[in-house]
Amino acid sequence: MENTRYYLGFNRVNGIGPARLDRLIERCGSIEAAWRASAAELAAAGLEPKLIEALIETRRTLDLDREMERARRAGITLIDRENPAYPSLLRHIPSPPPLIYVRGALSDADAWSVAVVGTRQPTSYGREATRRLTTGLVESGVTIVSGLALGIDSIAHTAALDAGGRTLAILPCGADMVYPERHTALAQRIAGSGALISEFPPGARPIPQLFPVRNRLISGLARGVLVVEAGVKSGALITVDYALEQGRDVFAVPGPIFSPRSEGTNQLIRNGAGLVTCAGDILDALDMSVAASQQEVRAALPDDPVEAAVLSLVGYEPLHIDDLQRRSSMPVYEVSAALAVLELKGFVRQCAPMCYVLAH
């Protein structure tokens, strides 16, 4: 899409995140107008002088077309939030990333995703629990989301691939890199049966500040988060915090009371997380027991392009018809008519007057 290049441009300006970008677009009228705005217009939109200076310098030095081509040569697809291909689950989290970089391919099947996270130093119990639970989820048509880290993350990715399923790896660096490097071969497998995803531009190094930011996408791309083993100070618990903020269900595998690596998971259960002993516990809680058949229904998208475009914007969080109209940029009568037909076909339902969610 034409506007993708401008999202790419803003993504190269440190300090302009989703909230500031929203204010700019609202003030200027469009992402392109915001990119081309004068210093006075940028100041009127609330940008600080240092950010204005940084944006103007980026516009002067950055060749947007060259950056787009650089990403293409690296096998990276850029998906901005105006694109119907933007993941529906991610679209509805607080402050979703305006642009994501994808190496591999996203699928409609990824709407049925569960994140699996945990310690980088699992016990034999944690490794086996991860393999069994991941395999059970994949066999039911669930996509596995994790962070490609050592330990539980890599075990979950590998188990999903070995079971013939899909998996998404969320990176704390640019999508042209792999962290940790020892997982380069695993990353190549993931790109062939899923995707490597980042909200950071190519070349971004995996500095400590980016890891918590990355974790919000792990939970944001999933309908629930499973923690297998985690100490009380585990980074996996940061993902749990984001999951709760995003309205995601949290699950945990109980562990031995003598194991430090189970302190965090046992505490999660004590605080209300779903106790998991088999994949069915998660599938039942998330109403995903028939995920595979649901995917077949979802794959049978409407032939009508207007219906398909509107359906791509509907997720599991309620959206008012006015929001759908704004995001689709279509006349309200077309959106209304498409919603009526989609409701008759069983794709969407009204959860409140004029508010729609996916029916499955």
Residue 358: the pLDDT is 83
Residue 290: the pLDDT is 58
pLDDT over 70 percentage in the chain: 95
- The amino acid occupying position 21 is L
Note the pLDDT tens digit of each residue in 209-222: 999 999 999 999 99
Exposed / middle / buried, residue 84 (Cβ in 10 Å: 0-12, 13-18, 19+): middle
Residue in the block written with tokens 């600080």: 48
Mean of pLDDT values over 287-299: 60
Mean of pLDDT values over 252-281: 96
Task: Tell whether the model's pLDDT for residue 21 goes beyond 90.
Answer: yes
Residue 300: the pLDDT is 56
Task: Tell whether the model's pLDDT for residue 304 goes beyond 90.
Answer: no
Residue 155: the pLDDT is 98
* Distance in angstroms between the alpha carbons of the first and the last residue of the chain: 29
Residue 293: the pLDDT is 54
Residue 357: the pLDDT is 86
Could you give the strand order of the β-sheet that contains 76-80, starting from the edge strand earlier in sequence?
76-80, 99-104, 194-198, 167-170, 143-146, 113-117, 224-227, 249-252, 274-275
Quote the pTM value: 0.81
Domains of the chain: 1-71 (1.10.150), 108-289 (3.40.50.450), 301-358 (1.10.10.10)
Note the pLDDT tens digit of each residue in 68-122: 999 999 999 999 999 989 999 999 999 999 999 999 999 989 999 999 999 999 9
Name the pLDDT band for 297 (thresholds 50, 70, 90): low
